[in-house]
Amino acid sequence: MLKGYKIMKKAFVFDFDDTLATTDCCVVVRRPSGSGTRGLPVRKLTPAEFNTDVLADGEVYDFSEFRSDKFIHNANPTFLIHLAKEVHDSGFAVYVLTARADNVSKAIAEWLCGFGVKPVKVHAVGSDDSKVNIAKEKQKVLQTVKELFDVVYFYDDDQHNIDLARETGVKVYLV
């Protein structure tokens, strides 16, 4: 290596749903029937719709489809899988940063490995039970990743996630 020349440490962080992959998973909105049983479905939301959804009084989210490994194993890659593969093969770090809950991290990592990409980590910031502030949680993770690398690139299909990510100084790309 030339004296004084420093290799840039780069990380590529990808959202999962509608960024790296598309699935048929939906979030079901239910209204409890009052008898303690599982409530009636009111509407179904795609991941993009969920990002901006607001619950009406008494409604709850049902994420059960997102907990199913089957949906992930059958996920369809988007064009960004080629970028992930290219940067991975160039020796750069690949992360996944998803609104899903942590129980599917392993399935997502396995799905990526099927395309020859081994992620450093799959950060799943969502929760099964409550709607956490996804954009804020993603921002926190990006802040941490940014401390480890010279340059961090972040890809996400949600404008709000991108806006908050930009505040951390990472390079952002709205998919």
Q: What end-to-end distance do the CA atoms of the chain give, in Å? A: 36
Q: How far is the CB of 138 from Mg ion (least distance, A)?
A: 10
Task: Note whether 61 and 51 are within 8 A (CB).
Answer: no
Q: Would you mind telling me the total number of residues written for the chain in this entry?
A: 175
For Mg ion, the closer of residues 10 and 160 by Cβ is 160
**Which of 11, 13, 14, 15 is close enough to bind Mg ion by CB under 5 A?**
15
**Which of 11, 12, 17, 63 is close enough to bind Mg ion by CB under 5 A?**
17
Determine the number of helices (DSSP H) and then strands (DSSP E) in the chain. 7, 10
Residue 18 contacts Mg ion per CB under 5 A: yes
**Which of 29, 122, 157, 162 is close enough to bind Mg ion by CB under 5 A?**
157
Residue 137 contacts Mg ion per CB under 5 A: no
Q: How far is the CB of 35 from Mg ion (least distance, A)?
A: 35
Print burial letters for 107-125: b (CB count within 10 Å at least 16), e (below 16): bbbebbeeeebebbebbbb
Residues that bind Mg ion (CB under 5 A): 15, 17-18, 157
